[in-house]
Amino acid sequence: MPNSTPLTILLAAAMLAAVPLGIAGTDPGRIDLPKLYPAAKGGTCVQINLPPSVLRISAAIVGRSDPHLADIIRGLHHVQVHVTELDNAGRESALDQIASLQDRLEAEGWVRTVEVREGDGTHVGIHLRLGEEDRIYGLVVTVVDAVREVIVVNIAGSIHPEQLAAVAERLPIEPLRRAAAAVGG
C-alpha cells in the first residue's frame, strides 16, 4: 500500500488513541465501521479497532517520551482504521459503499467539510461531528484512491483542530494530513 504499512497504521492509531471520559452508552463521534469492502484477490485488508483498554496503554507509553502528544491522546475515546486493497471489480462497489456511509453520516448530523474528486478517479471525503467551542467530537476520513485501496478512518473524542494538525505532522499517513489541512490545522 502506498505510503503506509499495517505497522505504521497501527502505531499511528495507537498514538491518536485515548482513555475514555466516562461517556455511558454512546459517543457522538464514534461510528460503527463494518467490514465494508472486499479485498482484492490476494490483496491486503487491515482493520484496526482500538478499544479504551488498549488506548490507555498507548497513552501511557506515549506519555513517557512526548507529554504533549499524550495530552492530545487523552482527549480521544476511540480509533478505527480500515484499509483494503481493491481490484477493478471491487472499485465500483467500494464507491457505492462510501457514498452510502457518507449519506448516513449526514443524516445523523455530521458535516461534510471536504469532498475531493480528482481527475485520476481518487475520491476523498471528510466529515466532522461538531460540538461547542470549536470542538470536534468525531472525524471520519474516507479515501478511495484511483486504483489501489480504500481507507476509512474514524477518530472519536474531543479534538481541537490544532491538535489534529500537530499529530498529522508527525505521522506519514496522507489521509490524516489531508484531514488536518481540511479542518484548518
Instruction: Provide the β-strand partners of residue 139.
Output: 128, 155
User: What cell was used for 151?
Assistant: 481507507
Cβ–Cβ < 8 Å for 137, 155: no
Q: What is the pLDDT of residue 50?
A: 83
Q: What is the value of pTM for the model shown?
A: 0.75
Q: What is the pLDDT of residue 185?
A: 56
Sheet holding 45-50, edge to edge: 45-50, 76-85, 149-159, 136-144, 123-130, 111-117
CA distance 162 to 147: 32
Helix, strand or coil, per DSSP, at residue 113? strand
Domain ranges of the chain: 6-10+39-50+78-182
Helix, strand or coil, per DSSP, at residue 131? coil
User: What cell was used for 25?
Assistant: 452508552
Share of the chain above pLDDT 90, in %: 19
CA distance 7 to 171: 12
Q: In whole numbers, what is the pLDDT of the chain averaged over residues?
A: 76
Q: What is the pLDDT of residue 178?
A: 67
pLDDT in tens, 30-75: 998 766 656 667 778 888 888 777 877 888 998 899 888 787 778 8
CA distance 130 to 139: 9
Q: What is the pLDDT of residue 112?
A: 94
DSSP conformation class of 45? E
CA dihedral 81→85→88→90, nearest 10 degrees, is -50
Q: At residue 156, what are phi and psi to the nearest 5 degrees?
A: -115, 140
